[in-house]
Amino acid sequence: MTDQTPVIEIRDLHKSYGALEVLKGVSITAHKGEVISLIGSSGSGKSTLLRCANLLEDSQQGEILFKGEPVSWKGSGHGRRPADPKQVLRIRTNLSMVFQQFNLWSHLTILQNVMEAPVTVLGRDRAEVEEKARHYLDKVGIGDKCDVYPAQLSGGQQQRAAIARGLAMEPEALLFDEPTSALDPELEQEVVRVIKDLASEGRTMLIVTHDMKMAHDVSDHVVFLHQGLIEEEGAPETLFGAPKSERLRGFLSSTMAV
């Protein structure tokens, strides 16, 4: 991989659930250190695109490349599946996903939640992982919560723990699926601050979000999806400041007014 090779490249991706076509040929490229936000109405295909990029969902057509390496497939159409389980595991461990609903293990402490995947999936040394886990929990501002359980944390703290868990895998890129939509406005800002800090460090990120201010502030590139296609994309200043598409203008006027 050269410096010019994208971390994630998606070419002409199609995804259907039965007869319902959710992605109708979407192409996105994320280079190292680039922050891309995906915006659009509910049902536009944003979260599906993220899940396809991380191979949590199987797509029916198109290519997904990770650091220049194409995903190998077997079968076609609705029968298409990744051909190499080892490749899938390698890609997934390098693309940490942060979900809307946190997905923390309730029976583990916050520190154990953050340590679990690096120890069990990557086979890293437990003492080394613990040191890094504590570092990442400090980084997201909840280093004092190592020994408590998820139920004892606020939603914003749980989401920051989920981000620390993603960072502990030391991935090539972070994928955020509506990271703030389950939070009330005050807690949302805790998480937005963490994401802004990560963006300022030059981390590669794909962010599905309903928060237009965050998308404007942290993104290098914004993609507006409408009914499974890219309607418009570009720098945040252009997309939010001078949208060309009537659909994007309508979407922004409705979301910014809320």
First CA to last CA distance, the chain: 43
**What crossing angle do the helices spanning 185-200 and 155-168 adopt, rounded to 10°?**
20
pLDDT at residue 256, as a whole number: 72
pLDDT tens-digit map of 101-116: 888 999 999 999 999 9
Look up residue 72 and give its DSSP letter: P
CA–centroid distance for 159 within its chain: 13
Per-residue model confidence (pLDDT) at position 258: 44
The pair of structure tokens assigned to 31 is: 């280079």
Relative to beta strand 221-226, strand 35-39 is parallel
Q: How confident is the model at residue 53 (pLDDT cuts 50, 70, 90)?
A: very high
Rounded mean pLDDT of the chain? 94
pLDDT value at residue 2: 54
pLDDT confidence of 185, banded at 50, 70, 90?
Answer: confident
| pLDDT, mean of residues 214-235 | 96
Taken in order of first residue, the domains within the chain and their CATH numbers are: 8-101+174-257 (3.40.50.300)
Is 91's pLDDT higher than 70? yes
pLDDT at residue number 257: 55
Q: What's the mean pLDDT in 162-186?
A: 92
- Residue 1, pLDDT > 70, answer no
pLDDT for the residue numbered 225: 97
The pLDDT tens digits for 190-213 are 999 999 999 999 899 999 999 999
Q: Which helix (H) or strand (E) holds 73?
A: strand 73-74
Burial of 76 (0-12, 13-18, 19+ CB in 10 A): exposed
pTM: 0.92
Residues of the chain with pLDDT > 70: what percent? 98
Residue 182, Cβ density class (10 Å: 0-12 exposed, 13-18 middle, ≥19 buried): middle
3-state SS, residue 251:
helix
